[in-house]
Amino acid sequence: MTAEVISEPTHSPRHTELALGSLDRVRVSVAPAPMASLISLVVDALGGPRQGIAPDWIRSVRSRLPADAAQAVIPMFDRTRALLPACLTPLGIDGSPVPEQLARVADLSPDDLSEGVELLSPEEPPLPWRGALRQPRKWLGLYVRLLSAAWQAYSPIWQQSSALRTREAERIGVAAVTGGLDVLFADLSNRVRYQAETLYLSDRHPYRVELDDRPIVLVPLVSGSAASIFNLDEPERAWLGYPVPGLDRLGASPQSATDSLTLLIGPIRAAILRALDHPTSMGGLAELLTAGPSTATYHCSQLAAAGLVLRQRAGREVRIQRTPRGDALVDLLS
């Protein structure tokens, strides 16, 4: 068992590094994992690292939380980081319902909890955990009661997100089978950067780990626009949670993509790539897209970060052109 980390949702200059190696050898899958989203939401609701969650969601969850259970869990994290033993944060990759996962957490032995906490700090338990370890069964009961109450408030939101999660699974599948994992990784979140076969995850307490031959499980989070939760230390897998695309449109019918390129990078960026059959000025591109210059600049910056376009200054204007990688992606996915 290893630690699961929920990092502060700010643009920290420090990053935890997950070295992937050649993407040709990386195995990627997607897991719905409602518990990851639930924990992200609860951490924010109890004053931990901000996850960019809608205020009405926070209010709904807070109103359901038992006061004694909340007081028992609040000390385990602060504004910059929440670090919980993996035994308390099951990924649920087997698809089991949240109540079943919580029942398994409730059945943990005191030794299970003690071993999990020991992995957080091998020398001695962190101060907030010492009280929990003095009465482990009582603390586990409070923890499970807290998450159970939060799930009652949150489960309707999770059910509403089914279409968004299905669409994201399709996007990941397209990237995996078309050699577009680099594009996918470059566009997961503003908390994640991909460069030189490495994922950089914004973190106030950084470290580096090799993926080796483990698969990486992507977990679309239905919680907040800045949500970030990951566990890179499990022997069977590394997993990374990030905001599911389209979260701000939850409840509306997601627009269907007409082709794989649009599904992978979104309609605006797909339109930009298709428009760049020849170098185009930023102003001309904005006009073609009927979008403002700032919108065109933002999306071109993201495409440049993914290695799909180049920006070159020509006098007073900036001209954009596709890279060979961008050409290949348009040809393959259109």
pLDDT band at 3 (very low <50, low <70, confident <90, very high): very low
Domain assignment of residue 164, yes or no: no
Question: In this predicted structure, which of 67-81, 248-262, 269-283 has the lowest mean pLDDT?
Answer: 248-262
Question: In this model, does residue 12 exceed pLDDT 70?
Answer: no
Residue 133 reports pLDDT greater than 90: yes
Per-residue pLDDT at 253: 54
**Considering the domain boundaries, does residue 207 fall inside one?**
no
* pLDDT, mean of residues 9-17: 69
In a domain, 67, yes or no: yes
Give the structural domain span for 142. Answer: 33-158
The residue from 130, 158, 186 where one domain ends is 158
Strand intervals (E) in the chain: 3-7, 15-19, 28-30, 81-85, 192-195, 198-202, 208-210, 216-221, 229-231, 238-243, 280-281, 309-314, 317-322
Whether 62 is covered by a domain: the verdict is yes
Residue 10's pLDDT band, with cuts at 50, 70 and 90, is very low
Final residue before a domain boundary, out of 158, 180, 196: 158
Q: Does residue 326 form part of some domain?
A: yes
Domain count, the chain: 2
Flag the least confident range among 72-76, 79-83, 119-123, 182-186.
Answer: 79-83
41 belongs to a structural domain: yes
pLDDT of residue 179: 86
Handedness of CA 72, 77, 82, 87 (dihedral sign): negative
Q: Which two tokens stand for residue 268?
A: 């605006």
pTM of structure: 0.82
In a domain, 1, yes or no: no
Query: Of the residues 158, 178, 209, which one is the last residue of a structural domain?
Result: 158
**Based on the domain organization, do 37 and 151 belong to the same domain?**
yes
* CATH code of 294's domain: 1.10.10.10
Over residues 206-233, the pLDDT tens digits come to 899 999 999 999 999 999 998 988 889 8
